[in-house]
Chain A
Amino acid sequence: MSKTIRSILSLLLALIIIFPILYCFSASLFARTDFSTSPARFLPTTVTFSNYARAFKASNLARFLVNSLICATVGTFLRMSISLFSAYSLTMFHYKGRYALFIIIIATMLLPGDALLIQNYVTIQRLGLTDTYLGLISTSLLAPTSIFILRQFFLTVSKEYREAAYLEGCSDTRFMVTLLIPMSQSLIVALTVQSFIQIFNDYLWPLLVTNSEMMRTVQVGITMLGFSESFDYGPQFAAMATLMCPMLILFIVFRKKIYEGVSTRFSGR
């Protein structure tokens, strides 16, 4: 197959693949009647932004967003801190059972979280943490993959650095903050972004753990916006389009870095 044909074909397929994204933006501008016409429409009859206004004013969408942002930010901070300190402990010290403890942490990757939902829910309920931010982020705080990757990197850092800093009375935290983190910054940035996205996009756990409308996260809230009158899908699409924008922009702007990051994972290991 010639290169030109391949290129054209790949572009065609790419456009088909992103069609739902385009449709979302288009549908966010639909008037209510645009949804009930037969045959179904691709483009709005007239462009109306009222859906966006309604989505934010007539529902708790803003609150949902705030909840998601709080969970993602605080959760990521705690998660990265725990991962950093864990990897630090596993590499910068020598003690009995160091490797065994590492395996214990890593082995959790074999246990799929979804199969543990019932028990984790009971745990959170017994602790009284349903409908709380802590309850929402609790299952996202352990990141065995991050610990694995950070440990991998820290192992390459010469022990002498730490010995020297230690002799000068440098505390562990200071050492990490002033030395280790800057050294591994691209790695940490990648892990932080990935963690933020993962917690922000979580659906099933937040659904089960929150009952109160005020504590809903945006991924769950978007399925229950409350515009249940027939064919009133506009505000939902407007909300989804808004939600998508930052991520889409990120992916388009940083596409090179994303591909590179994945490539290095292959050669780096």
Chain B
Amino acid sequence: MALGLFAQGKKENDTQGITTITWWHSNSGLLQEATDAMVGRFNETIGKEQGIKVQAVYQGKASDVLTKIKAIDQGGNNSSLPDLVQLDAQAILDIRDNPVLIDAETLAKENNYDLSQIVESARLSQTYKGKMIGMPFNSSTILLYYNKTAFDQAGIKEAPKTLDELATDSQRLLLKDDKGTILRYGFSGVPTTYELCAWLGQQNGLSLICDMNNGHDGIPQKMLFDSNGTMDNFLTKWKQLYATGALDTATSGISASFASGKTVMMVASTSQLTTTLEMIGDRFELGVANLPAVDDKATGGVNIGGGALYTLDNASNHSKETWQFVQFAVSAEEQLAWHIATGYFPVNSGTYELDAFKQHVQDNPLFGIAIKQMRESNPQLQGIWVPSSYQIYYAFQSGILKMLTENKDVHETTLSLAKEIDGYLTDYLNMQATK
């Protein structure tokens, strides 16, 4: 009665002279269309020339793709792994030291590929202990989205550039009815880990959030935002924002709220630009702007988030062919097409020189703002690579909310946040097998 049935993503066998490359990704809907188009173009051109066929398989959300990879890895059945996989920041800790990973730096050297053509901040976002482990692919940053129509009505000419301005603008945009019920908020949201990376990291030119170079040089052991004052500074400003009464501490449904006009401003990823435009329809005019800086000294800008492509060793010896596709996917022209279709910004600096790109940015100023923000940012400003990202996300949320609703002291909150998150880091260290 052995009812064994392993069925994880079919792999086509190599037929005469054609090498098949499997690529697991997490791009659905419009993104999947763009993915398939890119794969099609490769298969028709370079693929045909060199006898390579790429098979792109949608495997669910980024976390689902990671779970699948981990499951195969734990089962020891490495030949079931795909040749290429698209993963996001959650996967970094699991993949970076994993023997199945063939890092991008090695592959680039073997194939004489010049990695410097990749935009520096994107390159650094995939660098571990000085080596690039994956190829950034779908990169985004955070933007401030605002209801330009509401701004015009309130007589506000420009989007807020600092958190102080955010507070004053929000106050002006707050709308209440006669009974005092809030009809419209100025700003909606509670800081997420991703946003805090920017808001903390940008201070004083550049600040670290945790040790080990934000986790890029090894397993982080301690948070640093408590000792370098960045969290105190940020929380003080945030408390000010809350004091205006125009801050909506929502954690979900923010985009829907924004699109329906219930709140005037929100921060979100650049990758949401197209969806948000669709949701708004013609209700109002959308504006986007740089993420408001914490203060005048916070000049670091924003960091890059998003996913990357990782080449895996599945004992098929196809890494060279896989790299051919990777090169194609991040080529200047393909990154232009990818950007136009998805809103993710190009990781190849060559794209920015293309006339077609310059024209596109002119015609679509909203997309141009995200790119400008990225180029003005300090490329050393990187996100944190930490374990227990779920728990840390909740720790920030709960801690900040408690501070706001119970009017707790800023420094106390910082210390308790650091203590809680350090606890998670210690947990992770305790789980490492001693060599």
Contact = CB atoms under 8 A, between A and B. Distances in A.
A78 B29 CA distance: 42
Interface of B: 1-9, 28-29, 59-60, 67-68, 71, 74-75, 260, 275, 279
A230 B4 contact: no
A230 B74 contact: no
A224 B279 contact: no
Nearest to B29: A229
A211 B28 contact: no
A130 B71 contact: yes
Contacts of B1: 78, 134
19 contacts: A74-B3, A78-B1, A128-B75, A129-B4, A131-B6, A132-B4, A132-B5, A133-B3, A133-B5, A134-B1, A134-B2, A134-B4, A211-B67, A211-B68, A212-B7, A214-B7, A228-B29, A229-B29, A230-B275
A52 to B, nearest CB: 22
Interface string A33-53: 000001000000000000000
B68 to A, nearest CB: 5
A261 interface: no
A131 B8 contact: yes
Given A211-B71, A212-B68, A224 B8 contact: no
Nearest to A78: B1
A125 B74 CA distance: 8
Contacts of A78: 1
Mostly, the A contact residues are loop
Interface string A203-225: 00000000111110000000010
B3 A213 contact: no
B47 to A, nearest CB: 26
B242 to A, nearest CB: 29
A182 interface: no
A226 interface: yes
A213 B61 CA distance: 12
A218 to B, nearest CB: 16
Contacts of A132: 3-6
Q: Which 7 A-B pairs give the minimum distances between C-beta atoms?
A: A214-B7, A133-B3, A211-B71, A212-B8, A134-B3, A132-B4, A211-B68
Contacts of B6: 131-132, 212
Contacts of B74: 125
B3 A224 contact: no
Contacts of B2: 134
B60 A224 contact: yes
Contacts of B5: 131-133, 215
A240 B2 CA distance: 31
Contacts of B8: 131, 211-212, 214
A147 B176 CA distance: 65
B375 to A, nearest CB: 31
Contacts of B9: 212
Interface of A: 38, 74, 78, 125, 128-134, 211-215, 224, 226, 228-230
Contacts of B3: 74, 132-134
A128 B275 CA distance: 42
B172 to A, nearest CB: 27
Contacts of A134: 1-4
A129 B9 CA distance: 17
A66 to B, nearest CB: 11
Contacts of A125: 74-75
Given A212-B68, A224-B60, A228-B28, A130 B7 contact: no
A137 to B, nearest CB: 8
A135 to B, nearest CB: 9
Contacts of A38: 260
A228 B28 CA distance: 8
A229 B5 CA distance: 31
Nearest to B260: A38
B311 to A, nearest CB: 21
A212 B68 CA distance: 7
Nearest to A71: B3
Given A74-B3, A131-B5, A226 B28 contact: yes
Contacts of B279: 230
Contact of A130 (B59, B60, B75, B275): B75
Contacts of A212: 6-9, 68
B7 A215 contact: yes
Contacts of B60: 213, 224, 226
Nearest to A70: B3
Contacts of A230: 275, 279
From B1, B5, B60, B275, residue with most partner A Cβ within 10 Å: B5
A212 B143 CA distance: 36
B262 to A, nearest CB: 12
A259 to B, nearest CB: 37
Nearest to B28: A228
Given A132-B5, A229-B29, 7 more contacts: A130-B71, A131-B5, A134-B3, A134-B4, A212-B68, A224-B60, A228-B29
B430 to A, nearest CB: 16
Nearest to B59: A213
A210 to B, nearest CB: 9
A212 B6 CA distance: 8
A128 B3 CA distance: 12
A128 B74 CA distance: 10
Contacts of B75: 125, 128, 130
A107 to B, nearest CB: 28
From A130, A133, A134, A211, residue with most partner B Cβ within 10 Å: A211
Contacts of A228: 28-29
Nearest to B5: A132
Nearest to A38: B260
A213 B7 CA distance: 8
A211 B5 CA distance: 12
A130 B70 CA distance: 12
A130 B76 CA distance: 13
Nearest to B9: A212
B67 A131 contact: no
B269 to A, nearest CB: 16
Nearest to B71: A211
Nearest to A229: B29
Contacts of B275: 230
